[in-house]
Amino acid sequence: MPSLSQELDQSLLDLAWSLWTELGVAGVKRKHQNFLIGLEELILLTVALKNLDPRLRDESLDWCSEYHHFVSISRLKTLMKGIGSSLNEPFSSYSATLNSISRADWPLFEPSPPFDFIRSRKSVLRPLESPALLNIRARSIFGTGARADIITFFFTHSKTDFSAADVAEIGYTKRNVAEILEGFTLSGLLDKFLLRNQLRYRLNNDEQLIKFLEPIPSYAPSWQLILEVLFPIRNAIKRSEKSSESTQLVKIRNILLTQQNNLQRLNLTPPPYQTDFQSYWSSFTEWLLEIVRNLAHGDFPDNFYLTG
């Protein structure tokens, strides 16, 4: 019978394969045609799983070697900082290999030689008309960076207004975001208003821009928040697999406490703690696996959706 760690990783691999296949990697199953793809988050998920599926690692590298100019290095660095040092080694190995076979110049977080790799040259970029590729479509128009990502953010949150601090959480500095928001306001793309002494921004209906960017995906999960929750849980499970049940539960409970804010923002409620270790472990396992299986199958509950 597979362990919790193995079941968790299998669902995460299924998720990564589906998202990469949607981008144009030589895969089979596509279950996220109408879900916004976060390219940097997908790369980090793949890096975390790279030793479990060499073909996924290699085919994603094949895609990145051709289309790395669509990847925001600035945002990659920000996301890496938020995740911590656990991915430094696997990311650096992945990055060094990509740099050795392409014109990419991705950062290394620690010295790392490239591993042996031969491109399959099977990867393509699917037509940018795909709803899932909205962010790449925006980057092809506005350039890879904060402008395109802010546009994507507003187009997938069109019924809500936001502050500069809210928007900055996508992975850029508040100062940079504020400057871009002001520029978009001057151009008429955004409305700006004061609410309780805070500047708020809302998307205007710019028909010409909408025409360029359509179709908009129905669902835009916060992949950044999802990974910030799942990675520490996954690491805790792996580190404590050979520990006693009580030790495992203490570690998981501590992680859930530190992730309380992110869990609330995703509207995810872990099972209540129980003194009966076996009952609690069973309910926690069921809760966690349901989440990752839903992620993998594109069958998210409504609380994962951040579209307006």
Quote the CA–CA distance of 215 and 29 in Å, as a whole number: 22
Residue 228 lies in a domain: yes
Pair (89, 146) in one structural domain? no
User: Is 227 found in the same domain as 176?
Assistant: no
Residue 37 lies in a domain: yes
- In-domain check, residue 254: yes
* Residue that terminates a domain, selected from 191, 213, 235: 213
Pick the last residue of a domain from 145, 180, 213.
Answer: 213
CA-CA distances (angstroms) from residue 25 to 15, 20, 137, 293? 13, 5, 17, 21
pTM equals 0.94
Check if the beta carbon of residue 55 is closer than 8 Å to that of residue 43.
Answer: no
Range of the domain at 30: 4-101
Rounded CA gap, 37 and 131, in Å?
9
| Alpha carbons 73 and 108: distance in angstroms, whole number | 11
3-state secondary structure of 35: strand
CB 258 within 8 A of CB 264: no
Q: Would you state the pLDDT for residue 308?
A: 38
pLDDT (tens digit, 9 = 90+) per residue, 174-225? 999 999 999 999 999 999 999 988 999 999 877 778 888 889 998 899 999 9
| One domain for residues 76 and 141 | no
* Listed residue (122, 189, 118, 129) closest to 153, CA to CA: 189
Q: Answer whether residue 236 is part of any domain.
A: yes
> Is 137 part of a structural domain of the chain?
yes
* 189 residue type, one letter: L
Q: Are 216 and 155 in contact (CB under 8 A)?
A: yes
Sign of CA dihedral 222, 217, 106, 172: negative
CA dihedral 31, 158, 176, 109 (to 10 degrees): -10
* Pair of tokens at residue 93: 């190995």
What confidence tens digit (pLDDT) does each residue in 294-305 have?
Answer: 999 988 655 554
43 within a domain of the structure (yes/no): yes
Which regions in the chain score pLDDT beneath 70? Answer: 158, 300-308
User: How far is residue 164 from each of residues 173, 223, 252, 285, 307, measured CA to CA in Å?
Assistant: 9, 20, 34, 37, 18
pLDDT of residue 303: 53
Name the domain boundary from 159, 188, 213. 213
Q: Do 21 and 27 contact (CB within 8 A), yes or no?
A: yes
**Based on the domain organization, do 97 and 148 belong to the same domain?**
no
Q: Mapping DSSP to helix (H, G, I), strand (E, B) and coil, where does residue 192 land?
A: strand
137 and 208 together in one domain? yes
Tally of domains within the chain: 3
Same structural domain, 19 and 97: yes
Q: Are residues 184 and 236 in the same domain?
A: no
Give the count of beta carbons closer than 10 Å to the beta carbon of residue 144: 21
Q: Do 252 and 207 fall within a single domain?
A: no
pLDDT of residue 301: 57
Q: Is residue 26 part of a domain?
A: yes
Give yes or no: residues 96 and 13 share one domain: yes
Q: Are residues 152 and 230 in the same domain?
A: no
Q: How far is CA 207 from CA 189, 210, 212, 218, in A?
A: 10, 5, 9, 19
Provide the pLDDT for residue 209. Answer: 81
* Tokens (6 digits) for 148: 């395109």
CATH number at residue 178: 1.10.10.10
**Are 18 and 96 contained in the same domain?**
yes
Q: What angle do CA 205, 208, 212 make, to 5 degrees?
A: 110
Q: Tens digit of pLDDT for each residue in 151-174?
A: 999 998 867 899 999 999 999 999
Task: Determine, yes or no, domain membership for 126.
Answer: no
The two tokens of residue 230 are 């799942």
State how far the Cα of 142 lies from the Cα of 149, in Å rounded to an integer. 9
The reply to whether 180 and 237 lie within a common domain is no
